[in-house]
Amino acid sequence: MAKRRKNTVDFVEEVAVPEERMITLSDAKVQFLRDVRGLAKQTQRWHKENLNALEKVLGMQSLVIDDCRKLTVPFLKDHFVFYVLEELGLKVNTINGRIRSVRGLIQFLHRENYLPRDYSADLPVLKAEKVIIQAFSEEEIARLLRQPNQSTFTGLRDYTVMLLLLETGMRISELVGIQVADAHIRDGNILVHGKGSKQRLVPIQSKMRQVLQKYMKERGNALTDALFVTIDNEPIAIGTIQKLIKQYGEQARIANVRVSPHTFRHTMAKYYILAGGDIFSLQRILGHSSMETVRIYVEMFSHDVNLQHSKFSFVEHRLS
């Protein structure tokens, strides 16, 4: 005889899954710092300094985070990690401290249901020995420079921007800081306002002068003194140039090298050294306060220098 069915139903209480919520970076920072109040005072100050730095660096690029879901790993790498490494020149240990606080913020946001998952482990710290300086090849440069439509104002502007980065190796923050009066085309130089309010004159050659003169003619008069402007005659922002150069890299199908304004700086340094330029003048042109980074360029491109030497060695090719 079959066992009789129980005539009652066990109701399982449904547990509501909390919906994801939006939070600005500014508010998230405040909540996170409240959450870590149980830690040592020194650790609390360390987290505060690191997250303040995150907000400041994004602000330098005109980026305001109104929803922390925008803080994806690719976004943080491009606009924070690489920016402080390449543009601001922070030491690896300092950057890793910043990264660890950002990781903690991501974990906190996930716990509080502001992020769908905890991807903090996907944001790796840097290893000093693996910080590699990348540069474009000549073929990649040619492909990049073919992308802007120079029959338009914005295309001519973007072509001029990339060419000027390649010609001078200046930082993107220095480029957006150039004013019309700083471009001394007749004298063949540009007054650059560098880090720490230091100024330097950077030389430009005839081809660059011709392109710059053409752009300035199309630019005409604007209410701003900024040399590089938008279609609305407003000073162009760092983030806009970063985005445009990245898009041109995608159009040019450049995949093995990070396409960013700072890669133009590395590329300028590489070919300057290969052409026989001395590291002391390169240091002045790039605006480095010490020879340390310039020496890194020489070490990183030593293989290319050896190949160049094999082609032009006087002893090898001129003596019998």
Active-site residues, by number, are 171, 195, 262, 265, 288, 297
* Residue 224 CB-half CA count within 13 A: 16
Question: How many beta carbons lie within 10 A of that of residue 108, not counting itself?
Answer: 20
Identity at 208, one-letter amino acid code: M
Is the separation of the CB atoms in 239 and 159 below 8 Å? no
Is the separation of the CB atoms in 162 and 265 below 8 Å? no
Q: Please state, in angstroms and rounded to a whole number, the distance separating the CA atoms of residues 243 and 262.
A: 13
DSSP letter string, 161-215: HHHHHHHH---HHHHHT-BGGGEETTTTEEEEE-GGG-EEEEE--HHHHHHHHHH
Of 125, 59, 75, nearest to 98 by C-alpha is 125
User: Which residue matches tokens 């330097």?
Assistant: 200
Is the separation of the CB atoms in 28 and 68 below 8 Å? yes
Of 88, 91, 142, nearest to 267 by C-alpha is 142
Residue 203 pairs in a beta bridge with: 189
Identity at 300, one-letter amino acid code: M
Cα 306 to chain centroid distance, Å, stands at: 30
Specify whether the backbone of 134 is left (phi greater than 0), alpha (psi in -120 to 50) or beta. Answer: beta
Residue 226 pairs in a beta bridge with: 179
Strand ordering across the sheet containing 183-184 = 183-184, 189-193, 199-203
Looking at residue 147, the DSSP 8-state letter turns out to be S
Identity at 277, one-letter amino acid code: G
Structure tokens at 296: 């890194």
